């Protein structure tokens, strides 16, 4: 599915987060499977594989426990069992299909 960002969504969110909501540093990222950048230059566009890798790394270095770690584990499991699984299956199917048609993959 391809959708555009709502009007000024990331700019508004960044202002809101920096207005005192977030007690720590804000690391804004924009989940963008196609790599399309956010309207705010403060956001980093990442795809699902990058997000998964980031969660794995964050989990390894995260000193907090309890709810923060549980939330990371939840996101990791959701990505593994839904989006990433379907993308990996699609890649494997495409590779098999191309090999059957005589293309070198």
* DSSP letters spanning 40-92: STTSEEE-HHHHHHHHHHHHHH----THHHHHHHHHHHHHHHTHHHHHHHHHH
41 and 71 in a single domain? The answer is: no
77 and 36 in a single domain? The answer is: no
Per-residue model confidence (pLDDT) at position 2:
47
30 and 70 in a single domain? The answer is: no
29 and 70 in a single domain? The answer is: no
Series of mean pLDDT values for 10-residue runs along the chain (105 residues)? 66 81 71 80 86 82 65 85 84 87 79
Per-residue model confidence (pLDDT) at position 21:
67
73-89 burial code (b ≥16 CB/10 A, e <16): eebbeebeeebbeeeee
Per-residue model confidence (pLDDT) at position 87:
79
Domain that holds residue 104: 64-105
Per-residue model confidence (pLDDT) at position 90:
82
For the question of whether the overall pTM of this predicted structure is more than 0.75, the answer is: no
């Amino acid at each position: 599915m391809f959708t555009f960002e709502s009007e000024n969504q990331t700019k508004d969110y960044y202002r809101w987060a920096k207005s005192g909501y977030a007690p720590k540093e804000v690391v804004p990222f924009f989940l963008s499977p196609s790599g399309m950048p956010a309207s705010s230059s403060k956001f980093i566009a990442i795809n699902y594989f990058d997000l998964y890798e980031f969660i794995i790394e964050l989990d390894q270095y995260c000193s907090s426990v309890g709810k923060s770690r549980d939330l990371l584990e939840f996101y990791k499991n959701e990505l593994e069992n839904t989006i990433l699984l379907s993308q990996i299956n699609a890649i494997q199917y495409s590779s098999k299909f191309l090999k059957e048609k005589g293309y070198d993959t």
